[in-house]
Structure 1
Amino acid sequence: MTALRSGLDPADPGYIDAAATMESKLAELEAEFATALEGGGTKKVARHHERGKMLARERIEMLIDPDSAFLELCPLAAYGSDFQVGASIITGIGVVAGVECMIVANDPTVRGGTSNPWTLRKGFRANEIAMENRLPCISLVESGGADLPTQKDVFIPGGRMFRDLTQLSAAGIPTIALVFGNSTAGGAYVPGMSDHVVMIENQSKVFLGGPPLVKMATGEDSDDESLGGAGMHARQSGLADYFARDEQDAIRIGRRIVERLNWRKAGPGPVAEPIEPRFDAEELVGIVPGDLKIPFDPREVIARVVDDSDFDEFKAEYGSSLCTGWARVHGYPVGILANAQGVLFSAEAQKATQFIQLANRSNTPLLFLHNTTGYMVGKEYEQGGIIKHGSMMINAVSNSTVPHISLLVGASYGAGHYGMCGRAFNPRFLFAWPSAKSAVMGAAQLSGVISMVSRAATEARGGVVDEEADKGMRAMIEAQIEAQSVPAFLSGMLYDDGVIDPRDTRTILGIALSAIDSAPVEGTSNFGVFRM
């Protein structure tokens, strides 16, 4: 019998404190999510409705299949910047006519749906996910193009959006544009470069330059409709493939286009019927302590996420600070690597390397559960080969070709973040719990290192260390690192695909695995040279 057992006691004071801390962090995040949901604010939303238009989220809700889930991605993009949280665009995976699609929708209530630097980064990430996972891409377009005050940060990199759309099409991944309003300047190329285009009578306006710009550039007098209206594009330019009467009709046509794609998944599919875990997902809120220095058993997380809490642990007695093993999530096979005690030693690195090779041999996706302070330091460990063993693990992660999903549940520091497939190693999806932190090292350690370096430099010059100034510097650095290590900040930077409620973990992993299954799942035996 390989079903995990649980030693979790919801009545334990430690559990109660951890759950309270998690609930508090979730409440803080909920306020930020609400900011993204409100778009440009009450007045602009009301004005948009007065024009007879649906909001971007209402369009998405009507587009996806009834009662189906929409996995929103990067909802906190631009958090901590000068721009609206959400970056004036909504991206996510939804099921349309039975087909999982990447949906990208401009929010016209936020600065007319114009693209700022964070809009671009979020859009690029959506295109990357669509390409890697072979997801048809549906653009719900209503955009004034570039946010002109930030054009220096938008124009040059913005061309990648055109490249992405054309490369998706070249890869045989359908691209569909439903145009709900103005699609101006660079925004005009979204329908121009999509495989299928739907425009709405008296509502869609697609032109490189509007009447004022045309007047300034050529002296020609024109109006919106003759210059770029849906009727003109349907009857004269040929840019519109379908002519819709209103927004609802455009969405109906969009769904029919997807239905006619005859799209088929290319992955192997689930290998078994899903079985709910034996333990309550509600208990996930109290597993990770508020103080990440306190260890916790990742098997308690695994037991509440995988099918039937069934987990075949690999090398259970070897390299015990890394838990590895095989399981299923919603019927999809996965190999799991989960940090058990934070530090990665040589044995853990070697164990991970072998496990990753085995997953590639069996074409099994990998799930990384992060809670690591990094690879162990010290004379004994350096002499024992921690660098070459850590490099071996990173080599395996880098060159593994089975899909990877990363979930930051606790600390994710130093090269341990890399070895556990951090963002730089291109996991198909990366999510974080509100309890997660990620940085070069912990705030106290980092401020201490800077303090020691500063002290050494002062003493080398023959100076005397000002203890009060040193104490103040350490406090300032600790506060800065703490602020920059939390999930909301990192999510705002698009270093993850979303901060999730722990209780939703199984559902979100199931959606991600199903999306991954749209593309072939194939491992490799071609790794770099392993330094033994």
Structure 2
Amino acid sequence: MPVLSSAVDPASASYLDNRNAMLKRLAELDSALAAARDGGGERYVRRHRSRGKLLPRERIELLLDRDAPFLELCPVAAWGSDYPVGASTVGGIGTVEGVDCMIVATDPTVRGGAVNPYALKKSQRLGRIAAENRLPLINLVESGGADLPSQSEIFIPGGAVFRDLTQASADRRPTIAVVFGNATAGGAYIPGMSDYTILVREQAKVFLAGPPLVQMATGERTDDESLGGAQMHATRSGLADFLAEDERDAIRLARLVVRRLNWRRRGNQPRPVAAPPRYDQEDLLGVASADQRIPYDPREILARILDGSEFDEFKPLYGTALVTGWGELCGYPIGVLANARGVLFSEESQKAAQFIQLANTSDTPLLFLQNTTGYMVGESYEQGGIIKHGALMINAVANSGVPHLTVNVGASYGAGNYGMCGRAFDPRFLFSWPHARSAVMGAAQLAGTLEIVARQAAAARGQEFDEDAATVIRLGVEQQIDRESVALFLSGKLYDDGVIDPRDTRTVLGLALSAVHSGPVRGAAGFGVFRM
């Protein structure tokens, strides 16, 4: 297979400018991740430890196989909102007894692990990833239930969590609940609807209503242990399948359960030995342009993430603003679509549609590297059929059956976001680089468009246009769009599965591909009507 060459000069001024800009964005990301790791803050962490309990990430670390990586997902959920960064939940994919599993742990140091609107969205996204990739689901539970002040945003959509647990069981995707503390109200149904339940003696408390509410509702006086303690559920109600002596014993039992699942992957195994890229992944810090108006060659990225830097390019002389081709990543075959010059023309759209069809005929997952300003506009392009050709590409993306992985490595604007498999088109995983942006269009373009419309409206009414007011409005709009299009803001809204260090791109995608192949990988049997 052809080997990619590289023209990156780490000593050049442009490379150093790009690198410094990326490091600045990475510092912002590190700050957000640190806030998520801090949980509820030192006071609540200290109180939690004083009770002899482990923190959620410590529980996950003990659960994983020795030295196994953990792909944390949506780590900065709720960033920029009124809720704590991380949304009181830690979740991701890790290997337990040799099995790729989705692991979700509530953080009891954040308002007792209460479920807020972002925690609900995050847990539902994690559950969907588990379902789409056929991953066993392990819930590490310690939560006081719903965050009552925000119940109007939680109660009705939250029922889907219970539906999804029962459907997972019906689909033979194992669900395991390990209860370390409170699991009250709706939270009680997590162990109640899981295939396997493990409760920690003298710590786990599982009940629909605690003693105070029981007394108010029925007049009955009782205590936590009699009402919902681990011993009671193990000996009387039968809710507990295993009674653990302490947290470490609970984790040992969870590993034992996974070991006895007799779990079998339905996808392909990777090549036994995958050749590393021939170029240093450290270079990725300076490859992407700090100024998004300046295009860069996505082959420089591919040379640093594909096995052996080998890439068999498809239609290299046609539709050159979109790079397409075949390679392998961490031993798995992959098809690549990567924006080279931002704009998508008719040629790129037709090339993409054909390539996606080919990937489906060979059951090959697809990787989209987004850096697009959208489909080309203008009189000649409209007359040349850009709408129908863009629709051709979007049709192919929407109806493709193979798994899609998407990384926003620069910009993702307008309908180009859709054609390059943005969130609305359900890629199995979607990650962003720290400098990435996404919106209906760039801030200056959007503000300018609104101003043109306002000018036309004033002229139609026969009114004089207020230039000073327009300047103030334009600057305000630009600032708003600029703020709302950055990677951290979008990740906080769970519009991606995480902002990642560019140097980790190969590792992250390798872990995602491993998860993808836990289930079957099959191409589409057919597509919608292509408007030719």
Does the CA contact (< 8 Å) of 1:107 and 1:113 recur in 2?
Answer: yes
What corresponds to 2:33 in structure 1?
33
1:280 matched to 2:275: no
What corresponds to 1:346 in structure 2?
346
- What displacement does 1:273 show? 2.4
1:511 matched to 2:507: no
What corresponds to 1:196 in structure 2?
196
What corresponds to 1:430 in structure 2?
430
- Please show how residues 407-486 of structure 1 align to structure 2 within 5 Å: 407-486=407-486
What corresponds to 1:377 in structure 2?
377
Deviation per residue, 1:334-376 (Å, 9 max, x gap): 0000000000000000000000000000000000000000000
Q: Percent identity?
A: 64
- What displacement does 1:317 show? 0.1
- C-alpha separation in 1, matches of 2:58 and 2:331: 32
The SS at the match of 1:389 is: helix
- What displacement does 1:474 show? 1.0
What corresponds to 1:89 in structure 2?
89
- What displacement does 1:470 show? 1.1
- C-alpha separation in 2, matches of 1:386 and 1:66: 53
What corresponds to 1:386 in structure 2?
386
- C-alpha separation in 2, matches of 1:193 and 1:525: 35
The SS at the match of 2:214 is: helix
What corresponds to 2:72 in structure 1?
72
- What displacement does 1:472 show? 1.4
- What displacement does 1:525 show? 3.5
Deviation per residue, 1:130-183 (Å, 9 max, x gap): 000000000000011100000111101110110111111111000000000000
- C-alpha separation in 2, matches of 1:505 and 1:143: 33
- Please show how residues 79-228 of structure 1 align to structure 2 within 5 Å: 79-228=79-228
Does the CA contact (< 8 Å) of 1:102 and 1:135 recur in 2?
Answer: yes
- What displacement does 1:271 show? 4.2
- C-alpha separation in 2, matches of 1:286 and 1:317: 27
What corresponds to 1:18 in structure 2?
18
The SS at the match of 1:79 is: coil
What corresponds to 1:302 in structure 2?
302
Give 5+ residue unaligned stretches, structure 2. none
Give the 3 Å change call, closer, same or farther, for CA 354–272 of structure 1 in structure 2: farther
Deviation per residue, 1:240-284 (Å, 9 max, x gap): 000100000000000000000010110022246211000000000
What corresponds to 1:358 in structure 2?
358
- C-alpha separation in 2, matches of 1:308 and 1:268: 20
Deviation per residue, 1:437-492 (Å, 9 max, x gap): 00001111100100000011011111111112111111111110010000000000
Does the CA contact (< 8 Å) of 1:271 and 1:333 recur in 2?
Answer: no
What corresponds to 1:368 in structure 2?
368
What corresponds to 2:529 in structure 1?
529
- What displacement does 1:80 show? 1.0
- What displacement does 1:200 show? 0.9
- C-alpha separation in 2, matches of 1:497 and 1:201: 35
The SS at the match of 1:17 is: helix
What corresponds to 1:520 in structure 2?
520
Does the CA contact (< 8 Å) of 1:62 and 1:251 recur in 2?
Answer: yes
Does the CA contact (< 8 Å) of 1:184 and 1:206 recur in 2?
Answer: yes
Deviation per residue, 1:93-127 (Å, 9 max, x gap): 01111111000000000000010110110000011
Deviation per residue, 1:213-250 (Å, 9 max, x gap): 00000000000000000000000000000010000000
How big is the alpha-carbon RMSD for the aligned residues of Structure 1 and Structure 2? Answer: 0.6
The SS at the match of 2:54 is: coil
Letter in 2 for 1:314: F
- C-alpha separation in 2, matches of 1:12 and 1:427: 36
Deviation per residue, 1:165-214 (Å, 9 max, x gap): 11111110000000000000000000000000000110100000000000
1:312 matched to 2:315: no
Larger mean Cα displacement after TM superposition, 466-475 or 32-41: 466-475
- C-alpha separation in 1, matches of 2:482 and 2:82: 21
- C-alpha separation in 2, matches of 1:473 and 1:120: 36
Letter in 1 for 2:111: R
- Please show how residues 227-242 of structure 1 align to structure 2 within 5 Å: 227-242=227-242
- C-alpha separation in 2, matches of 1:148 and 1:368: 40
How many positions carry a matched residue from both structures? 532
- C-alpha separation in 1, matches of 2:481 and 2:108: 35
- TM-score, structure 2 as length reference: 0.99
- What displacement does 1:29 show? 1.1
Letter in 2 for 1:250: A
- C-alpha separation in 2, matches of 1:301 and 1:269: 25
- C-alpha separation in 2, matches of 1:346 and 1:325: 18
- C-alpha separation in 2, matches of 1:151 and 1:419: 37
- C-alpha separation in 2, matches of 1:111 and 1:272: 46
The SS at the match of 2:181 is: strand
Does the CA contact (< 8 Å) of 1:272 and 1:332 recur in 2?
Answer: no
The SS at the match of 2:363 is: coil
Letter in 2 for 1:86: G
- C-alpha separation in 2, matches of 1:178 and 1:406: 32
- C-alpha separation in 2, matches of 1:270 and 1:360: 19
Letter in 1 for 2:475: A
- C-alpha separation in 2, matches of 1:45 and 1:335: 45
Deviation per residue, 1:72-104 (Å, 9 max, x gap): 000010111110000001110011111110000
- C-alpha separation in 1, matches of 2:324 and 2:273: 23
The SS at the match of 1:101 is: strand
Letter in 2 for 1:373: T
- C-alpha separation in 2, matches of 1:220 and 1:362: 64
Letter in 1 for 2:524: T
Deviation per residue, 1:410-446 (Å, 9 max, x gap): 0100000000000000000000001210000111110
What corresponds to 2:249 in structure 1?
249
Letter in 1 for 2:515: A
Does the CA contact (< 8 Å) of 1:312 and 1:326 recur in 2?
Answer: yes
- C-alpha separation in 2, matches of 1:390 and 1:16: 36
Does the CA contact (< 8 Å) of 1:357 and 1:525 recur in 2?
Answer: no
What corresponds to 2:45 in structure 1?
45
- C-alpha separation in 1, matches of 2:466 and 2:94: 58
- C-alpha separation in 2, matches of 1:269 and 1:439: 37
What corresponds to 1:259 in structure 2?
259
Letter in 1 for 2:141: V
